[in-house]
């Protein structure tokens, strides 16, 4: 059984082990419940939020709707939710950008993840994928590292933007491999992939939802993926870790948070019901299509993971001298 399925099933089993009368008396939000998403409708974060909203609506018998407040890579939505009452009626579909990277990238960030939020559950992690232009001579990770060492500062890596998860995956890899490259930030993944396929950019770390269709269509090279084990969606693409960089991980992840002050009993109830939802076959299938794995587990598991991610990215940002908007 995959770890994601095990964790979700464990959460669901723990909840189902509670006597029926106790489950019936467990607290629920007064409703209606809004899950705020910091990205436009139709994107991966939005799709996952709507999937969870549908299941929670069925579990709770109260309206659970998705509200999109796009902008600033999820920070606008996070800032909005941080200012809402901790009553369970407003939740945030958190993202690595708002809850992992932004705290270390933006010194004037208006919210504190630790102070202003109640962690509920990790929904899933997807790898970033190291992809390359089809005409590039280095077609394996080892060959690419060798090329970068032979031509320091000349191999062109694009990213979806300065300080993006894709950019920081590159910075982590540069530090681990001891290489120097030319970084070219773009305003989003679409123009980046267009220029990569056109040969203006040689390589890039890119999110799974954008890169996978291009890999399968034979339009870009796939040199590696950045979780600890291969995604079931791309079993033939080796991980960076297995190619000589143990414990390398640079994921794009999604989670659910509430404003600070949410009662512990209600937070536990929401966590358990998210576990139930993630264990459902149709949800697991949809997550697999996005390459989202390793979701579920306790509130503490997510809190510990989020804290370690913020520490990791703060260190990467500091060591690489990255500044917002640079």
pLDDT tens across 165-218, in order? 999 999 999 999 999 999 999 988 999 999 999 999 999 999 998 999 999 999
User: Does the pLDDT of residue 15 top 50, yes or no?
Assistant: no
Architecture of domain 128-243: 3-Layer(aba) Sandwich (3.40)
DSSP H helices in 84-157: 96, 102-105, 113-116, 141-150
Q: What is the pLDDT of residues 214-237, one digit of tens each?
A: 999 999 999 999 999 999 889 999
Give yes or no for a cis peptide into 32 (omega within 30° of 0). yes
Alpha carbon separation from 230 to 127, 129, 215, 220, 280 (Å, rounded): 9, 11, 15, 18, 22
Position 19 confidence tier, pLDDT thresholds 50, 70, 90:
very low
SS3 content of the chain, % helix, strand, coil (to 5): 45, 20, 35
Q: What is the pLDDT of residue 25?
A: 54
* Average of per-residue pLDDT across 62-90: 96
Q: How far is CA 76 from CA 97, 102, 110, in A?
A: 11, 11, 10
All residues at 6 or more sequence positions from 323 whose CB lies less than 8 Å from its CB, including other chains: 162
* 110 has pLDDT over 60: yes
Report which DSSP code applies to 198: T
pLDDT at 324 over 90: no
pLDDT of 1: 40
For the chain, give the mean pLDDT.
91
pTM (2 d.p.): 0.87
Strand runs labelled E in the chain: 33-37, 64-68, 90-95, 117-132, 156-159, 182-185, 203-207, 221-225, 251-259
CA distance 51 to 55: 7
The tens digit of pLDDT for each residue in 29-55 reads 998 999 999 999 988 899 999 999 999
Residues 283, 52: Cα–Cα separation, whole Å? 8
Instruction: Please name the CATH architecture into which domain 3-126+252-320 falls.
Output: 3-Layer(aba) Sandwich (3.40)
Topology match between the domains 3-126+252-320 and 128-243:
yes
What DSSP character marks residue 73?
Answer: G
Q: With cut-offs at 50, 70 and 90, classify the pLDDT of residue 18.
A: very low
Q: Give the Å distances, CA to CA, from 180 to 135, 157, 187.
A: 21, 10, 22
Separation between Cα atoms, residue 164 and residue 39, nearest integer Å: 14
Residue 130 exposure: Cα atoms within 13 Å on the Cβ side: 30
């Amino acid at each position: 059984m995959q770890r994601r399925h095990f964790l979700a099933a464990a959460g669901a089993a723990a909840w189902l082990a509670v006597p029926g009368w106790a489950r019936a008396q467990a607290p629920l939000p007064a409703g209606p419940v809004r899950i705020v998403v910091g990205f436009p409708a139709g994107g991966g974060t939005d799709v996952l939020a709507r999937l969870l909203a549908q299941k929670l609506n069925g579990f709770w018998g109260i309206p659970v709707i998705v509200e999109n407040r796009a902008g600033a890579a999820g920070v606008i939505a996070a800032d909005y939710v941080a200012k809402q009452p901790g009553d369970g009626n407003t939740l945030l579909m958190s993202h690595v950008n708002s809850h992992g990277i932004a705290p270390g990238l933006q010194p004037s960030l208006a919210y504190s993840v630790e102070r202003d939020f109640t962690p509920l559950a990790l929904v899933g992690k997807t790898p970033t994928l190291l992809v390359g232009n089809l005409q590039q001579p280095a077609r394996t990770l080892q060959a690419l590292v060798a090329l970068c060492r032979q031509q320091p500062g000349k191999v062109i890596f694009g990213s979806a933007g300065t300080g993006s998860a894709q950019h920081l995956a590159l910075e982590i890899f540069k530090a681990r491999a001891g290489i120097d490259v030319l970084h070219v930030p773009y305003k989003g993944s679409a123009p980046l992939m267009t220029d990569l396929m056109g040969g203006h950019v040689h390589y890039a770390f890119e999110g799974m939802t954008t890169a996978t269709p291009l890999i399968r269509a034979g339009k870009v090279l796939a040199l590696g993926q950045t979780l600890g084990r291969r995604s079931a969606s791309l079993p033939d693409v080796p991980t960076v870790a297995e190619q000589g960089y143990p414990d390398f991980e640079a994921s794009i992840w999604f989670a659910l948070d509430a404003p600070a002050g949410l009662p512990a009993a209600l937070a536990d109830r929401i966590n358990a019901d998210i576990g139930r939802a993630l264990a459902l076959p149709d949800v697991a299938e949809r997550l697999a299509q996005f390459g989202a794995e390793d979701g579920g587990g306790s509130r503490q598991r997510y809190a510990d993971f989020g804290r370690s991610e913020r520490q990791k990215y703060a260190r990467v940002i500091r060591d690489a001298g990255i500044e917002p908007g640079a």
